[in-house]
Structure 1
Amino acid sequence: MLRLQGQIRFGGIGTVTGIDLVAALQLAENLNYDKRAISHLLPMAEAGLITALNKDRTEQNDE
């Protein structure tokens, strides 16, 4: 996931809306990763990332 840091999409108020999956799959192809496996894993990783980053953001705003 660290290689995808620049591919995170943000909404208008700074919330994380997802990963640029096209760019992520292109990166996987460039790195010779199994695109089929990556295409199954990325949506789950994206969901976890969105939940965690937005939770952190919400908690910071509550302080």
Structure 2
Amino acid sequence: MVSPAGGAMVLGWDMAAALAMARALGVDPRIAAECLPEIEAVMVRKINEQMAGDR
């Protein structure tokens, strides 16, 4: 998380941690590596929209 002049915002996920969690859940790492960037982009955008609305 970064705190620019306008407030805090999420920039992205820790992909190593996300892949480790996928591995622990039994998800094929190749599938996780393929899908996680798209999921991350949507989640980051939605979290930032929600945080902006809470200000």
- Aligned counterpart, 1:7: none
The reply on whether 1:37 has 2:31 as its aligned counterpart is: yes
Q: Aligned-pair RMSD on alpha carbons?
A: 1.3
Instruction: Provide the rounded CA distance (Å) in 2 between the counterparts of 1:56 and 1:25.
Output: 25
1:19 aligned residue:
13
Separation (CA, whole Å) in 1 of partners of 2:18 and 2:12: 11
Q: Which has the higher strand share?
A: 1
Q: State the percentage of identical aligned residues.
A: 29
Structure 2 unaligned blocks of 5 or more: none
Which of the two has greater helix per residue? 1
Distance 1:57 1:31 in 2: 29
Q: TM-score, normalised by structure 2?
A: 0.78
The offset of 1:54, in angstroms, is 0.6
Counterpart-to-counterpart distance in 1, 2:38 and 2:54: 24
